[in-house]
Structure 1
Amino acid sequence: MNTRTSRSDRPFQLRSLAAAVVAAGLLGATTVTGLGVAGAAPVTTSTPFTTPNTDSCPNKTVPPPPIDTSEVPQPGETAPGPLPIPENPIGGDKLGSCGVVLPQGAPPVPADISATAWIVADLDTGKVLAAKDPHGRYRPASTIKTLLAAVALPALDPHQVVTGTQDDANADGTRVGIGPGGRYTNEQLFHALLMCSGNDAAHAIAAQLGGDAATVAKMNAMAKQLQAMDTRAATPSGLDGPGMSTSAFDLAAIFRHDMQNPTFADIIHTEQYDFPGFPADPKIPDDKDHPGFPIANDNRLLYDYPGDLGGKTGFTDDARQTFVTGAERNGHRLVVTLLKADVLPIRPPEQAARLLDYAFALPAGANIGSLPDANVKEDNTNVALASPPSQDNPTAANPSPPHNSSNLRTVGIIGGFVLVIGLGLFGWSRMGRSR
């Protein structure tokens, strides 16, 4: 098995036995995934665990200082300033608090939650049930791929075939295993993006949206439309970059918006999926065709937590563990988000499970605020889209923008209907004149 570990983006992973077989490559897979500290056994420590205190609002304007050089601007560029802070907290006054915020009379939150910021909200009503530093600004890591999905799913034809490039294969961080010359539908790329956090899939998707810069601009426009005012993408994949930011509140709002899309909901709830291989590289002596392989979902709770709806994991050295997932119990659907979490004293999925159990047990009507409307009220058209490569000539430039197949079908149906009516009226008028 060809595996590669990167410190840049290693999602938390614990697969079922079947998924572990997949990840181990025992079925002939050549998948490339990131496994690192998030998947390792917790180390013992003599330092007592304490939940990070955010009562003084240390991250009100910007995320914590980076520990590496990932946010150093490129030569000739400058880092963006902090995002403006809304005059009134989005979602309600209580959500302007920076510590733990609970409904009146609610019991204490579960112990052993290492996430510096978190939120639990109702996916259907948008009511926020409990939170800690909900608008504090942190790095999203690969959970920002949910924002990329919000932009790309409606914009790209899922059946369009694109050809993998060496730039896709060279993407930094976690990769699903796209190879040069491989042929992939957008549907397959979306599964790779959301199930196993493929940064190579993110690159292939962004290329169809005009490249990284245009894609990031569209992501940031979408964030504003969703009133995710603490969020600024710097990369399509979630790798850290200058100005990257989100909040527990925003991440929940983005996820709630995405869950309105049946395609997104289906993909994140998929446990295993067959991904295509790619042909031999003629430049490499004795290289052979690389067969397709199954990929498994990184979200541990999909296997371990009854009612889990799916979600998205994330990790970078600066962001630490990040996580968003939804769950349903007795017809009640919740979303939970974690930012800047650690694997001690319990792993982030276990922390999310405890917060979900806590919120499911709260009395009906308990809330501390509301997520924004999950619907986008404006067309996100301020950034031009580039067309995917032609199937006949994958490397040729195509100036036509990508289309939404459902929109085209709608236009075709309406056009056909108008045409039929027009022909009918024309025939009726001719019949009248002939008499």
Structure 2
Amino acid sequence: MALAPAAATADTRADPAPSPGTGPRAGAPPASLLYRSGTHVRPRAGAPEVPELSAKSWLVADAGTGTVLAAHDAHRRLPPASTLKTLFALTVLPALPAGLRHEVSERDLRGIGPGSSLVGVAENRTYEVSDLWNGVFLSSGNDAVHVLASLGGGWRTTAERMEAKAHALGARDTRVESPDGYDAPGQVSSAFDLAVFGRAGLRNPEFARYCARTEARFPGRDGGSYGIRNTNRLLTGADGVEPYPGLIGIKNGYTSNAGHTLVAAARQDGRTLVVTVMHPRSGGAHAVYEEARSLLDWGFEAAGRVDPVGSLDALRDRPDPVDPPDALRDRPLSGQQAEPAPAPVARGDDRSGRPVSWTIAGAAVLGGAVVALFLRLMWGPVPKD
């Protein structure tokens, strides 16, 4: 473990060594350590010791300020599994009204990988977009992702837009081949990027409600419905995992290639922390939750007693000024209590000068086909999947 000194040096994005003969500028922030291998923390006197973890990569950051409190191989590129659905939601969620109804076709469900997690989307059944997002966040349903991606422009187009979104957020380690997180050659992300996505998600009230929801009803094939439960055990306390106090949720994942992965956020005493844990190498299936618990415990105890080792805003041109704890305070986090978010949430203007949200909301009244056509006109031609 590398315990970095607290002395400040000139901050750079690529972590180059200081030029000979130069010293720290007065008031300059400490140089980022996030591109260096190993475990990094800058403890002050009385700071707790960072826990020993088995994960290949991990990070803990203050979601309000973006400061990274500690990290291990933060930019190591690894397969993300279903934690990549956080980026999918950031990309697609703002463009599709929650109340939009869509009849699922055979084409919508093409290409779902063998062994995928499914929520039970059925061909020729009509769903609201909000139902499909419940399927994504709670059941990690790749079938729901495929339908939403079809509505949003197509599979490959969605992957391209996800990469563009990641780049805009300053997440430069992520390569998207399969928007649902299913293992694919070349598909990678990092603990840093996933923390960026989780933090950005907390700023979106719809995302925050979905990721915090523990249970929901999902439409069945026979016209009825059935219950689904969030697979994030640190949120629900299922299978012998104790729920974490103040956990907001976000997203867990697993594939045989990626191992277990998790992005989690919790709020205590007015402070929100976000952690990423990727591929614990010991401790079994629940290790990802217990290692995240250890990081959250450490982070809340260490806050104010360590200096940053980097920032989640380091690669962003214009950091978002909104503080997630303030943005989410006084909002219901349980999906069973929250009021539905307004359907029109897309940003920007269409070519007519009307807000995109107004145009999508109007198109939604006419049906899914009209919305899909509008999105294609707004985003450009859609290649055939």
1:25 alignment partner in structure 2: none
Mapped partners of 1:363, 1:150: distance in 2 = 28
CA deviations 1:45-90 (Å, max 9, x no partner) are xxxxxxxx99xxxxxxxxxxxxxxxxxxxxxxxxxxxxxxx7458x
Task: Decide whether the 8 Å contact of 1:169 with 1:177 is kept in 2.
Answer: no
2:266 alignment partner in structure 1: 327
2:87 alignment partner in structure 1: 147
Give 5+ residue unaligned stretches, structure 1. Answer: 1-52, 55-85, 279-288, 382-386, 405-435
Amino acid at match of 1:140: P
Amino acid at match of 2:49: P
Q: Are 2:43 and 1:104 equivalent residues in the alignment? A: yes
1:271 alignment partner in structure 2: 214
- Secondary structure, in 3 states, of the residue corresponding to 2:130? helix
Aligned in 2, Cα 1:177/1:104: closer, same or farther, shift over 3 Å?
Answer: same
Q: Cα RMSD (Å) of the superposition?
A: 3.1
| Displacement of 1:135 | 0.8
Match of 1:400 among 371, 374, 380: 374
Q: How does 1:202-281 map to 2 (within 5 A)?
A: 202-278=145-221
Aligned in 2, Cα 1:294/1:168: closer, same or farther, shift over 3 Å?
Answer: farther
Aligned in 2, Cα 1:108/1:370: closer, same or farther, shift over 3 Å?
Answer: same
Q: TM-score, normalised by structure 2?
A: 0.72
Q: Are 2:229 and 1:296 equivalent residues in the alignment? A: yes
Q: How does 1:121-200 map to 2 (within 5 A)?
A: 121-169=61-109, 171-172=112-113, 173-200=116-143
Mapped partners of 1:114, 1:364: distance in 2 = 26
Task: Decide whether the 8 Å contact of 1:327 with 1:335 is kept in 2.
Answer: yes
Q: How does 1:42-121 map to 2 (within 5 A)?
A: 87-88=14-15, 92-105=31-44, 106-111=47-52, 113-121=53-61
Mapped partners of 2:93, 2:311: distance in 1 = 26
| Displacement of 1:183 | 1.0
Q: How does 1:332-347 map to 2 (within 5 A)?
A: 332-342=271-281, 344=283, 347=287
Amino acid at match of 1:255: G
Task: Decide whether the 8 Å contact of 2:43 with 2:305 is kept in 1.
Answer: no
Task: Decide whether the 8 Å contact of 2:101 with 2:367 is kept in 1.
Answer: no
CA deviations 1:225-277 (Å, max 9, x no partner) are 01101111111100122321111011101111111001111111111111112
CA deviations 1:368-410 (Å, max 9, x no partner) are 111115549xx899xxxxx999888867996322799xxxxxx
Task: Decide whether the 8 Å contact of 2:138 with 2:213 is kept in 1.
Answer: yes
Percentage of identical aligned residues: 36
Mapped partners of 1:208, 1:92: distance in 2 = 43
Task: Decide whether the 8 Å contact of 2:151 with 2:372 is kept in 1.
Answer: no
| Displacement of 1:342 | 4.1
- Secondary structure, in 3 states, of the residue corresponding to 1:216? helix
Mapped partners of 1:380, 1:223: distance in 2 = 19
Give 5+ residue unaligned stretches, structure 2. Answer: 3-12, 17-29, 237-242, 322-346, 350-359, 379-385
Mapped partners of 2:122, 2:244: distance in 1 = 34
Mapped partners of 1:159, 1:403: distance in 2 = 21
Mapped partners of 2:364, 2:68: distance in 1 = 45
1:370 alignment partner in structure 2: 311
Runs of 4+ in 1 over 6 A off after TM superposition: 387-397
Aligned in 2, Cα 1:266/1:100: closer, same or farther, shift over 3 Å?
Answer: same
Q: TM-score, normalised by structure 1?
A: 0.64
Mapped partners of 1:174, 1:167: distance in 2 = 19
